[in-house]
């Protein structure tokens, strides 16, 4: 299965421009599943709730329409982060869209730093969605630091974790090696790059988007450049949870002894 990510530097508040950048980066792609960054269409550094309200949209809003068109054009599924407005509640969300339409939505559960001032924590829980008979799990950025999040998706059968991000601290790309290894899943980390400066606030994003295998191998990792990367993976490898002939990483868990 050909999977990958788009890494780029969105302009804050310039949805049309950001959609056009993505469309350009995707030109002519041959892939089945592509992940875009968190808040890919709006940018990240919101100064107040009014700005966020303005830039947010329903899960099937205009950015969804745009992505669905690309999904049909390239016969490819896309996962992407966006600011979601649902009955005036604002979530840091992601959607999975196939050529047939909306497959699923995930709302970021573990909000980071000032996101807590503007967004409501997600209420969707951790669910697995199917595309082409492959089970996919969704997490957004800071969710990575809670091992329970990805573990829940792995226990539910996820083979590939779709992970849009706007990372500003350096730890996640290396930590994903362990997350992939301990859960025996593929991880597609789609981070943004560049810097956002707004009214004295600066966010510098680390880039380093990557695809990691269930054996913890970095199949591709980039630096700070705007790019699209695609790798060919066998998602069936994520069905084998054996570390060796004695250790099955999921079966051997001792749920009777954790959190007691
Ligand atoms: C983050 O969760 N955007 C760091």
Any catalytic annotation for residue 14?
Answer: no
Helix (H) or strand (E) holding 202: strand 201-204
Query: What atom in ligand 1 is closest to the CA of residue 166?
Result: 3
Ligand 1 centroid from CA 207, angstroms: 12
* Whole-angstrom distance, CA of residue 119 vs CA of residue 171: 23
Q: Which of 15, 32, 76, 108 is catalytic?
A: 108
Let me know if 141 is a catalytic residue: yes
Q: Best substitution site from 39, 81, 115, 146 to test ligand 1's pocket, by max atoms within 8 Å of Cβ? A: 115
Concerning whether 193 is annotated as a catalytic residue, the answer is no
Taking every pair of C-alpha atoms in the chain, what is the biggest distance, in angstroms? 57
Task: Determine the distance separating the centroid of ligand 1 and the alpha carbon of 99, expressed in angstroms.
Answer: 29
Two structure tokens written together for 129: 């969605």
Atom 3 of ligand 1: nearest residue by CA position = 166
CA atoms within 13 A on the CB side of 203: 23
Is the pTM higher than 0.85? The answer reads: yes
Q: What is the pLDDT along the chain (260 residues), one digit of tens a residue?
A: 999 999 999 999 999 999 999 999 999 999 999 999 999 999 999 999 999 999 999 999 999 999 999 999 999 999 999 999 999 999 999 999 999 999 999 999 999 999 999 999 999 999 999 999 999 999 999 999 999 999 999 999 999 999 999 999 999 999 999 999 999 999 999 999 999 999 999 999 999 999 999 999 999 999 999 999 999 999 999 999 999 999 999 999 999 999 99
- Strands 210-212 vs 33-35: parallel, antiparallel or unpaired: unpaired
Short-list 129, 198, 209, 123, CA closest to 163? 209
Please give the helix or strand (H or E) that residue 136 lies within, else none: strand 134-138
Q: Which residue has its alpha carbon closest to ligand 1 atom 2?
A: 142
C-alpha 166 – ligand 1 centre gap (Å):
5
| CB-neighbour burial class of residue 28 (10 A; exposed 0-12, middle 13-18, buried 19+) | exposed
Question: What ligand 1 atom has the least distance to the C-alpha of 141?
Answer: 2
- Active-site option among 76, 141, 172, 193: 141
Pocket around ligand 1 at a 6 A CB cut-off: 38, 112, 141-142, 166-168
Delineate the domains of the chain, giving CATH numbers in brackets: 2-239 (3.60.110.10)
* Alpha carbon distance 142, 164 (integer Å): 10
From start to end of 20-133, where are the E strands? Answer: 33-35, 77-86, 89-98, 101-107, 128-131
Q: What are phi and psi of 174, to 5 degrees?
A: -70, -40
């Amino acid at each position: 299965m050909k999977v990958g990510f788009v890494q780029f530097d969105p302009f804050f508040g310039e949805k049309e421009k950001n959609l056009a950048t993505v469309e350009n980066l995707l030109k002519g792609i041959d892939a089945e599943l592509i992940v875009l960054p968190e808040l890919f269409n709006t940018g990240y550094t919101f100064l107040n709730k009014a700005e966020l309200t303005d830039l947010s949209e329903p899960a099937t809003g205009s950015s969804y329409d745009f992505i669905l068109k690309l999904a049909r054009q390239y016969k490819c599924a896309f996962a992407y982060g966006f600011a979601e407005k649902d009955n005036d509640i604002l979530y840091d969300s992601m959607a999975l869209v196939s050529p047939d339409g909306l497959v699923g939505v995930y709302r970021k559960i573990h909000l980071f730093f000032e996101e807590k001032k503007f967004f409501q924590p997600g209420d969707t829980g951790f669910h697995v969605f199917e595309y082409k008979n492959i089970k996919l799990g969704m997490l957004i950025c800071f969710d990575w630091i809670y091992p329970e999040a990805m573990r829940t998706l792995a226990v539910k059968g996820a083979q590939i974790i779709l992970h849009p991000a706007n990372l500003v601290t350096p730890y996640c790309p290396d930590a994903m090696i362990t997350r992939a290894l301990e859960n025996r899943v593929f991880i597609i980390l789609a981070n943004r790059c560049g810097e956002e400066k707004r009214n004295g606030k600066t966010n510098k994003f680390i880039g380093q988007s990557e695809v990691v295998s269930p054996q913890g191998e970095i199949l591709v990792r980039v630096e700070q450049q705007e790019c699209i990367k695609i790798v060919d993976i066998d998602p069936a490898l994520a069905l084998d949870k054996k570390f060796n002939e004695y250790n099955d990483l999921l079966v051997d868990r001792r749920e009777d002894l954790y959190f007691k």
